[in-house]
Amino acid sequence: MCLRNLFRRKLRSLLCIIGVALAVTITVAVVAATTRYTTVIEEMNVYFNGKIVVVARGVFIIQAFPIGGALPESVVNTLKDIDAVEAVVPMLFNLNFKLENEGTQSFPFDVTIGIPAGNWSVLVGSTTLKNGSWPSAESDSRVVVGPSLAGQYNVTVGSTIEIEKHELEVSGIMETRSAFLSRSVIMPLKLAQETFRYPMQVNMVIVTPDEKADEKELSDRIEKKISYVMALSDHERNELTEPILSQVEAWNMGIKSVLFFLSMVLVTVVAVINVSERRKDFATLVAIGASRGFIVRVVMTETFLIGLFGGLIGLVFGTIGALWLGSTYTGIPITLFFPGVFEVVPLSFMLEILVSTVTVSCIAGVIPSIAATRMNITEVLRAEY
């Protein structure tokens, strides 16, 4: 009966469903895309849990990684001489370098990282290689690339790529689902210094405290001994990005609230119009013995169906929209997002949006259903008949 009533008002019902679907589409596309970016940012700090990241004072930090800045490589020896320091690993981090094709395999790298040969685990942990091997020496002119880059540009072990006019051989491809590592190119530190013209320089140093050391106290001692650096503990790194992540979360919540409210208003208006047009039908049903609860269920079921259909349609187009946004802002072909679609738009998020949409639509049916039960049956029947 409820479906039949909706189909009797095809245009109005269709426009209402489209309106709800549009709201859901925008919500899913924007919120899922921004949430994915914040997840990647948060993931970047996982690699150095329990470690201190030393960077040049005043540089901008995204979780554990500096954007720009430089430190003399000699700072490594100074750090090793500080009590309670167990290990020190220098790194050179470069973000978003665009390359032009000059006859060899060239592509835009999201992240390029130089690490002393043999110290790869400080970043990649237990990550293994799908194919190939790690560069074996600092003088090695070979690199390891992430699976996303390799898949996008058909890079295999033995391929030659060009970075900053340096021809480099791909020695291995990582086996990882990490969004950060999958878009990374990792090479020996000396090779990175030569490639990006950072002679005897690095821009971050990873310090591992010994077991008995207090992380905060050690950070303070490092900054006191080396005045031109910042020594950031886990807590301090999180504090730097927490305001940004909080603002993104507030933005997402605002988008969801506004669009759900507009959906509720739209469904309410359509339901009120439908109830007004069917006063005669409802009055007749009550007159022949139908309960007022039955009338409420009819109206609520119609708004439920509008929310369900609109939510399902919106989820489909919203997911495509989220993948399109990700492709647009990263330069990664959208086809590479499809295998990991549920990482961009998790099933739990889809279920949350669908349940929220249906709930909002049901709430929107409360006022029309109450109005339908409070009509004066006698007056309606006299007026209609």
> 3-state secondary structure string, 218-256?
HHHHHHHHCCCEEEECHHHHHHHHHHHHHHHHHHHHHHH
List of long-range contacts for 211-218, beta carbons under 8 Å, 24+ apart: 211/86, 212/84, 213/84, 213/85, 213/86, 215/50, 215/52, 218/52, 218/82, 218/84, 218/85
Contacts of 158 (CB under 8 A, 6+ apart): 169, 170
Calculate mean pLDDT across residues 46-57.
89
Predicted confidence (pLDDT) at residue 107 exceeds the cutoff of 50: no
Calculate mean pLDDT across residues 7-25.
81
CA atoms within 13 A on the CB side of 160: 7
Identity of the highest mean pLDDT range in 29-43, 59-73, 313-327, 364-378: 313-327
**pLDDT value, residue 99:** 41
pLDDT in tens, 293-326: 777 888 888 888 888 999 999 999 999 999 998 8
Distance separating alpha carbons of residues 228 and 75, to the nearest angstrom: 10
User: Residue 14: how many CB atoms within 10 A of its CB?
Assistant: 13
Calculate mean pLDDT across residues 86-104.
69
**pLDDT value, residue 8:** 61
Higher-scoring residue by pLDDT: 114, 68:
114
Q: What is the mean pLDDT of the chain?
A: 84
- % of the chain with per-residue pLDDT over 90: 37
The structure tokens listed for 130 are 């799908």
The structure tokens listed for 139 are 């003088």
The structure tokens listed for 168 are 């480099």
**pLDDT value, residue 101:** 40
**pLDDT value, residue 351:** 94
Least confident residue range of 45-49, 55-59, 352-356: 45-49
User: Residue 343: how many CB atoms within 10 A of its CB?
Assistant: 12
**pLDDT value, residue 350:** 94
| Local structure of 59: helix, strand or coil | coil
Predicted confidence (pLDDT) at residue 263 exceeds the cutoff of 90: no
**pLDDT value, residue 369:** 81
Q: One-letter amino acid identity for 90?
A: P
| Local structure of 3: helix, strand or coil | helix
Q: Which residues in 135-164 are b (16+ Cβ under 10 Å) and which e? A: beeeebbbbbbbbbbbbbeebebebebbbe
> By C-alpha distance, which of 234, 205, 204, 178 is closest to 49?
234
Higher-scoring residue by pLDDT: 159, 95:
159
Q: How confident is the model at residue 380 (pLDDT cuts 50, 70, 90)?
A: low
∠ Cα 340 345 346 (to 5°): 90
Higher-scoring residue by pLDDT: 158, 10:
158
67 touches 74 (CB < 8 A) = no
Which residues are bridge partners to 95 per DSSP?
111
**pLDDT value, residue 97:** 46
Calculate mean pLDDT across residues 358-385.
73
Predicted confidence (pLDDT) at residue 160 exceeds the cutoff of 60: yes
Higher-scoring residue by pLDDT: 234, 190:
190
